[in-house]
Amino acid sequence: MKLFIDSADAALIKDLATTGLVDGVTTNPSLIAKSGRPIKEVIAEICAAVEGPISAEVAATDTATMLSEGRKLAAIADNVVVKLPLTMDGLRATAVFAGEGISTNVTLCFSAAQALLAAKAGATFVSPFVGRLDDHGADGLELLHEIRAIYDQYGYDTSILAASLRNVGHVTGAALAGADAATLPPETFSALVKHPLTDKGLDAFLKDWAATGQTI
């Protein structure tokens, strides 16, 4: 499963990319607004830092303007993925972009039926929102299993990009569900490496090594 960073903080993304573990980045209008910088400038900087797919979202709600904005975003760099909302207008734009060879990420997916439509429209990625479903009493991870079963049943090429993942358990669940990728807030990404027994074991090893008086 590929790991994407859900952020528009270019400096932080550059730092995390040095781990060699960052496969892509997702952004959205809220994250861009939080950065306080022009969207084209932010996306270009992120695209230069990470070779994988970089999702940049349109702000329009009608198909014609989505197409106009999406083409401008796609022109920023070869690895830009145009992010579109899972609405009928968004799906129309997705189908057009599929015909033009422009990669897309259909976002705000909350049902398997919606994911089916995204795949039929030719989406490169579909982004089911796990955490937000959990907030409303549904099972966000179960949705990933449903989408995986449908895509495998019919041979759809659309990749499942698990989104709204808020903790390590969500990431593990997404991997077990067969998600192709997961996008994580930077703090969740960093938490993946943490375990108290790892820290305890390392402390013991270092203490024992220090007692030998040796150096390497």
The CA distance from 112 to 134, in Å, is 15
The label of the residue with tokens 């909302």 reads 85
The label of the residue with tokens 């989104």 reads 163
Annotated catalytic, 83?
A: yes
The CA distance from 23 to 14, in Å, is 12
For 84, 140, 210, 213, the CA distances from 112, given in Å and listed in that order, are 17, 11, 55, 60
And the tokens for 59? Answer: 């702000």
> Considering 2, 14, 72, 83, which one is annotated as catalytic?
83
Bridge-partner residues for 183, per DSSP?
Answer: 4
In this structure, are residues 8 and 29 in contact, taking their beta carbons and an 8 Å threshold? no
In this structure, are residues 183 and 161 in contact, taking their beta carbons and an 8 Å threshold? yes
Instruction: State the burial class of residue 208 (Cβ atoms within 10 Å of its Cβ: 0-12, 13-18, 19+).
Output: exposed
Residue 195 one-letter amino acid? H
Known catalytic residues are 83
